[in-house]
Structure 1
């Protein structure tokens, strides 16, 4: 260990020496050792360290001392050992001091995570400031009126600044405080003033009302001032509108920056050629010429020569017919030359890449039979010139010979003569196609200078306690076994189909003259016959599971009142209300099924807590929020949305009369962003807090501050597990209220040896229990849908093979994607004399309670998502569960009577290979959206934010880098105006940036549909028994440029069909999901309208859509690898196109992807082809064009792959691998 410390000290001295050489030009190791020693004598206190050198007269720069301080704190063995010691043992007396010292040192190393918080402005103070600003506005309006009158009398056209174009991309420049962003800039007079003055914690619309993500206005403070502001703006609008009439001056001439497609312009003929006339356009900035072809001059008559109709200098009226690069095609025949009226008004173009409807017809307007008022902007504004390949000299010679021989016409090759082409296009030369090589910039954000490299040395949170343990090996083996089973099944189906097809003699059919024509088959028919047909029927096990009679929920003869009184929580109603009255915060622990979710809110409403505010209850899942609200509304006896309602993302089912409100934890997080004090609520109940979602963990820290400011607010945290002491300690030692459940003893049995194939062992255990154990149902925990379906099929076949003498076993699957009517069958009682086995994911641990479960089989695995900040990739992996989850699963067997739990792992594995509790989401998920919302609330100091379990430092630094690259943060790490706008969109920051950027690109209508489709689960339905049929239907929507445009085609196709459910059924589209996408689109449209963003369509020019996607997903870019698949541009990670992608088999050189998920491979989901130069344009702070004077990093890493015989090994060509063929002549003589 001493040798290792010496090496660490040598490394530190070398780094400090290099730092002194960089700053002062002095490379002295003795000086470096002296400085390090002085730092140790100051006990790591930077103030004393700096004071020492100031007293000595050492004129060291501040940046040098800070850099040395950071290096010593990070690399010196003393501080490393101190940190390890603090992690291992804490004395109660010094624990808080050690924690403060560790935070102080961490703040000095990672300054970007410790930016001071922005002081929150109370609503009253902001109201006073707005009132003063309004009075100043009134004075400014009077001054503007005076100046307008003087300008009108002087006859000078007034420049209207209210319509100045706004550049959302220029968001780097901003003030330090997100609250005084525009107020401190001198209250600039433009149309964005009133909207952008909002403080970071509150958003206002034009009338300074609170607006939530549903577009509803919540009036706050001072409608008189709002009407006054409206009066001022109305007066300004009236003045601008009537100014010409009042002062009788000519209106200013508006010039287009670029020619607008299908617009009529005045022009002057500048030249007449044999093929047409060149016309100079008026009304466009600069000198713009276009060509009127001879065929576009006159309608219904042949024009022998353009000079018959026009002459040089003649004024004409033309219409822009086409724009290709710098070539502008004009038309005279579609314009009335006397009046300038458009004789052929251009019909609106279909929006999206797929111009044809699925029935083969062409869309007459944007959406088939549905009229649309979305303007179409199609053209070359900001569009790069179309590259054309130059013909080689031999190709030109061959074509000239063909023309000379009369075989082809010279008119077929107008670009053959370069001089003729230059005269025609005005371009002069062809543009050579260029392969642009781009690189990632090594520059760090200024507020993270020197910190990101330190974070790379930090290890991410481990989701597996023992990577080399038996359980983790079993998890990896189980994945491989499932893959082998799937491949074996496919091979068996292909063999069976091939045997059936081999019986068909094609030759005999065609030689027999008497055979009917419809009976003759081609070889293509034979190949299709060999394809495995899985879509003939529903699997037998599923038909048996579905049955003929569908039930919806538990069967009971009790009334609602009797059901409420039968719940365990009913006995403690009075004690609960007393505890809530006496304590501001409280932890409630109760088993699943005790009634705490549905009854506590009703008890509080009956106790009068709903009279002074809303009783809010959060749920970690949207489905749970909806179903619980429906059940409580039924028990209360009201309509859903009246006294009892729910709010989930993009869906609000509440009213002004709502007293009990269920919502997802993410929705409460957005509400606290609008109103940090939650003035509308009297009680907040965080249900299922043991699941520890990211939103729940953030709410913990925010609500602790809220309850300090609001003594009347009551906070209740409920949990179904036994880790309530941790919650109580976090919430200042608040009391714990336990609700005893109906629990019975559970006998736990372990495996004697580790199981190599846990799925096969689980199925064998099910059959043993069914054949040998007494009556009682079985609950089996597996990891996912595919595994559950495989288990159901295998188990059904095995039970069927045992014959009819064996008692009946009903196999019932449960997973989130299963239709609700099939999920409800798990609550039905088993048939008489039989038994049911429920095969479920971890949803059955705490979320649902199934009666009559006496046996639980726990393989000990769960599938969870883990984020790697270094790779920027989500990994969906099978991992061992925690000890708390194992106890929870075992408890499922003791709800009805004494039960048994069969754990398919050893007791040693339970003790040594399982973590005590699960890793919370905040430590294994991407935090960019979470940090953006915290920044919008003024919380910049992330290190000192009161997290229950702080997230990893490298994850937070990666999120800050991502937000900076998206232009959401400025050089000081504070929120920009664009960042505040992105925080208003309830989605990940990259999607919000794409949506905002699409406005400038002119494709916001298409992007709304794409983002709405990305915000939901997949709309494609691919049942296991009809996979081939579903894939054929999906291929009709495929766009050659990628999956984003494919989603656009699906949405537009559904819209063309009139939003018809039968269309969804025919095309294997999930109607419920695509309807939800429509709702999401409407809510996003409301947010866009609130910001006055134009909704325009790009028509057929879908390149704009792909360019806009690069503005948000530039980090998710990959380049084709010469050997296999792709490699990401950021980290060089090998990734692959998913087989379901529209680009599968047709790869592009560069692509961007929406998500990257690690399953059997690193698959890119939702991929689109792009040009590399778009990445540099979209993210100039992140990418750069590789220098041309030297090799790029990518090309340096490439190596020449030697050619070799594909039937031999790759290294068989080497001399060392050659074998001597013999000693005689003529043989091989290598030796």
Structure 2
């Protein structure tokens, strides 16, 4: 009966919601068994925010209550006698059992009634035990809710105390530093001071020498410029000659020192300093030692040389003949600026002040109109093209208009981390303040703000997290949601939250900024809010398509770059859109490999990357002016579409692809796919070429593909991704009706149900859909729910120190190891030296611990082929997680027990479980999805039966990244509610049935 009922519920759920799962079926059956009637069941389903009150749902609840064997009603009909009567009947039955049985009828009576009594008694015991179990569960849930509320109150209280004592925080830190200094012995302090004095003196002398030489060089130049044709006295001529000779001797001394460094062994500095490109001397001008000259001679002898007839075969043929890409000019995208309008070159921009630069932006002409509109309206929709200055200037206008008095803040959200950091840096420079004081930014795992910050740039996810501690955003006077057209997951959720707060707080100003033409949709959503349109400065852009489709867009992009560089005049930089870091690094390597054959026959080509994981100092290089007689090539992800504006771009190369997250609700797997962009995104990319003058956009696809294969608008992220993190956040904010939440575009109910199921399985929600204490603690971590559960589970297994280290390494989203082509064997050997039995998580822990033991040395990273930037980021993430452990009241405990660490990881990622089947392939336990171990894993050559993986990556196959080996019994230990014993049976360990052997005579007869 149970199997048929489960199948019926499963079919009905598919009919009602389009999806079903065994966990959901069992959950609904449990609700039905606890309900007294169909109305009660319908009310329980509505409270879970998964079903609406519709006729189809009512029919389903009525039929389910009719089908299910309802224990309570059946017991009431059977159990009529009192407990005393049942005991009396039981005694009578025992007495009759001692008598002689006289007839069959008497035998039937004496055996029939005790069975009925026993059945009734068992049902009575079942009722009592069920009632006790329900009372126990209810008491536990009430206790959990009380502890959850108490935890939230303690967190808020600690935040208030920290805010109140923020002035004395620096004093406490100073006292701690002073106490540490006092612990040093007198002898050590004297040695350190003397050593520091000596180093400081050396640095001072070196710097003073350079300053004096610069000063003397300028004096000699002035002498030659002003007094070359003048009549001078003999003394003046001697003085001029003396200064000139001194300068020449000093230069000769420096050249001799350089020569000695080459001829002899020179101890390098402890810190390797970056050398500007323009300061490097030509290799031919530097004197070489004997060893270097011998190497050059051997290399020259090994290179084949051809005759004169082949000498003039120019290397340009490599691009322009065999690999040339034919483009067709389709149309010209009209501009919005007059071609006669005054524009500033890079050299002129360096001469004008920041104030003049601000006044040159298109948004400056609308400054007064913007301030009046903000004063007159609570909600304002702003349409402004990228480059109009709305992101950098509007918060400054609000600051200057007095919206930051009484320590109130202006908050501006950005969809990407790079944009938040770069824009905050620019605004701080324009306001003449230090970054992190009056102007700051806040991104995941990095907070560059202080108590004095009044203009704050942040990612949309960080503003969403601020709702936890400040649900009414009382410290903000203005909230600007920038780049709203990108429709990220967190931005769409923010729309509903800030719309509700704007109704509650009439003093809060809400600005929605978009760079596309669909602002009417935003206006309608925010109760017909007024629209302020700010035109940008855009010049005409010629659009080119390829004649035929390109098979390899990476190679086509490289050829297009060289075509533009060799055929188009300078100045004019190139912007190339790629899908991610891997493609950017591949294209960089290809360009450098090709251009080295050109030598000095072509102008310099400077290749610069920009992507999310790139350090901020390297990101800033794309904004630096291009040197004369050179061309800059910026290789960017879709961050350069709208979030970042780069001056000097005249040529855009658009392959037509980007990376996009998509969630498969059927298999429960989240993929990062390379997909075609939308027409709106293609037009945004083309517009980047018309910022400083007329430009050209080269699309590496055909005009037919643009018209027929590209969608008009991108699909909002909320409709294609896993909503687990957002649902947890909304539940933490007290928003329980997720179905009727005010979405701009509602997500599919299927993904909402799966998110609720996942959080219920992780223990973040109880069976009524309420947030548990565990769920409230999970919401404090800026991680996905699985990682948050893993961190909290470390408290039980006593390994929190190791788990936050592993979490920091996993959160970097970048490769820890690198493999230079010239040193592949050495790099692989170094990588294998870190491998630890048990899995990749333990290997990452081993890498971090060994790096920490070297005092976080960059030299150690270089020697072991480890990415230093990745390790620094992992350390920063770990430090923030360490602070959050204290916030959620988890003690920091260390353990070297490998089993405890792996059990903790399993407690968070038991969803991501795969086992080896009889065919030799790994399949996920729940969905039977075929997956493979990634070749970079330390378990790639092994075949453990059971594995937990961190994520799935889809390339040529479905690969499991960062895997560990587990035992099947751990799954029932950490998730007994999710896995059945039958699912965890190991078929390889089953014994074959015993068979009876045959005698020799029997075999011979056969």
Q: Same fold (TM over 0.5)?
A: yes
CA contact (8 A) 2:145 2:773 kept: no
C-alpha distance in 2, partners of 1:105/1:635? 61
Query: 2:157 — aligned with what?
Result: 209
C-alpha distance in 2, partners of 1:20/1:1180? 19
Query: 1:572 — aligned with what?
Result: 366
CA contact (8 A) 2:496 2:741 kept: yes
Query: 1:1140 — aligned with what?
Result: 936
Query: 1:890 — aligned with what?
Result: 686
Query: Structure 1 residues 694 and 635 mapped into 2: Cα distance closer, same or farther (>3 Å)?
Result: same
Tell me whether 1:1108 sits opposite 2:892 in the alignment.
Answer: no
Tell me whether 1:197 sits opposite 2:150 in the alignment.
Answer: yes
CA contact (8 A) 1:209 1:217 kept: no
1:355-504 equivalences under 5 Å are none
CA contact (8 A) 1:1038 1:1142 kept: yes
C-alpha distance in 2, partners of 1:760/1:888? 23
CA contact (8 A) 2:818 2:867 kept: no
Q: Aligned to 1:1043, which of 840, 844, 849? A: 840
C-alpha distance in 2, partners of 1:599/1:107? 52
CA contact (8 A) 1:744 1:896 kept: yes
Query: 2:401 — aligned with what?
Result: 607
Query: 2:91 — aligned with what?
Result: none
Q: Aligned to 2:818, which of 1010, 1014, 1022? A: 1022
In the TM superposition, what is the alpha-carbon distance from 1:912 to its structure 2 partner?
2.6
Q: Aligned to 1:729, which of 524, 536, 557? A: 524
Q: Aligned to 1:1064, which of 854, 861, 874? A: 861
In the TM superposition, what is the alpha-carbon distance from 1:675 to its structure 2 partner?
2.1
3-state secondary structure, aligned to 1:561: helix
Q: Aligned to 1:596, which of 364, 367, 390? A: 390
In the TM superposition, what is the alpha-carbon distance from 1:817 to its structure 2 partner?
4.3
Query: 1:252 — aligned with what?
Result: none
In the TM superposition, what is the alpha-carbon distance from 1:1119 to its structure 2 partner?
0.8
Query: 1:1096 — aligned with what?
Result: 893
In the TM superposition, what is the alpha-carbon distance from 1:760 to its structure 2 partner?
4.0
Deviations 1:815-855 (A, max 9, x none): 44455555555445556556444333222212222333333
Query: Structure 1 residues 766 and 1067 mapped into 2: Cα distance closer, same or farther (>3 Å)?
Result: closer
CA contact (8 A) 1:1020 1:1070 kept: yes
C-alpha distance in 2, partners of 1:926/1:1067? 37
C-alpha distance in 1, partners of 2:503/2:478? 14
Deviations 1:932-954 (A, max 9, x none): 11111121211111111212222
Query: Structure 1 residues 1057 and 861 mapped into 2: Cα distance closer, same or farther (>3 Å)?
Result: same
Query: 2:462 — aligned with what?
Result: 667
3-state secondary structure, aligned to 1:204: helix
Q: Aligned to 1:968, which of 761, 764, 787? A: 764
CA contact (8 A) 1:554 1:824 kept: no
Deviations 1:752-808 (A, max 9, x none): 443344344444444444455555333332323333344444455556667865666
In the TM superposition, what is the alpha-carbon distance from 1:1045 to its structure 2 partner?
1.2
CA contact (8 A) 1:210 1:218 kept: no
Compare relative contact order (CA 8 Å, sep 6+) and give the higher one, 1 or 2: 1
In the TM superposition, what is the alpha-carbon distance from 1:812 to its structure 2 partner?
4.3
Q: Aligned to 1:932, which of 706, 715, 728? A: 728
Query: 2:799 — aligned with what?
Result: 1003
Query: 1:356 — aligned with what?
Result: none
CA contact (8 A) 1:619 1:625 kept: yes
1:101-500 equivalences under 5 Å are 173=137, 196-197=149-150, 203-205=152-154, 209=157, 211=159, 216=162
* RMSD over aligned Cα atoms: 4.0
3-state secondary structure, aligned to 1:1183: coil
Tell me whether 1:872 sits opposite 2:825 in the alignment.
Answer: no
3-state secondary structure, aligned to 1:211: helix
Q: Report which of the two has the higher share of helix.
A: 2
1:637-1036 equivalences under 5 Å are 637-773=432-568, 775=570, 776-795=572-591, 809-818=605-614, 823-827=619-623, 835-1018=631-814, 1020-1022=816-818, 1024-1025=820-821, 1026-1036=823-833
The TM-score, its normalising length taken from structure 2, stands at 0.64
Query: Structure 1 residues 181 and 1119 mapped into 2: Cα distance closer, same or farther (>3 Å)?
Result: closer
Tell me whether 1:62 sits opposite 2:10 in the alignment.
Answer: no
More moved, 891-900 vs 901-910: 901-910
C-alpha distance in 2, partners of 1:1063/1:805? 39
C-alpha distance in 1, partners of 2:7/2:537? 72
C-alpha distance in 2, partners of 1:892/1:661? 26
CA contact (8 A) 1:174 1:970 kept: no
In the TM superposition, what is the alpha-carbon distance from 1:210 to its structure 2 partner?
5.2
The TM-score, its normalising length taken from structure 1, stands at 0.53
Query: Structure 1 residues 217 and 981 mapped into 2: Cα distance closer, same or farther (>3 Å)?
Result: farther
C-alpha distance in 1, partners of 2:673/2:651? 27
3-state secondary structure, aligned to 2:153: coil
The alignment of Structure 1 onto Structure 2 pairs a total of residues equal to 709
C-alpha distance in 1, partners of 2:37/2:363? 66
3-state secondary structure, aligned to 2:959: strand
Tell me whether 1:1163 sits opposite 2:959 in the alignment.
Answer: yes
Unaligned runs of 5+ in 2: 16-35, 62-133, 167-314, 316-345, 993-1006
Query: Structure 1 residues 835 and 1082 mapped into 2: Cα distance closer, same or farther (>3 Å)?
Result: closer
3-state secondary structure, aligned to 2:874: helix
In the TM superposition, what is the alpha-carbon distance from 1:966 to its structure 2 partner?
0.7
CA contact (8 A) 2:363 2:393 kept: yes
Deviations 1:1095-1138 (A, max 9, x none): 32223x22111112111111111112444441111111111111
3-state secondary structure, aligned to 1:722: coil
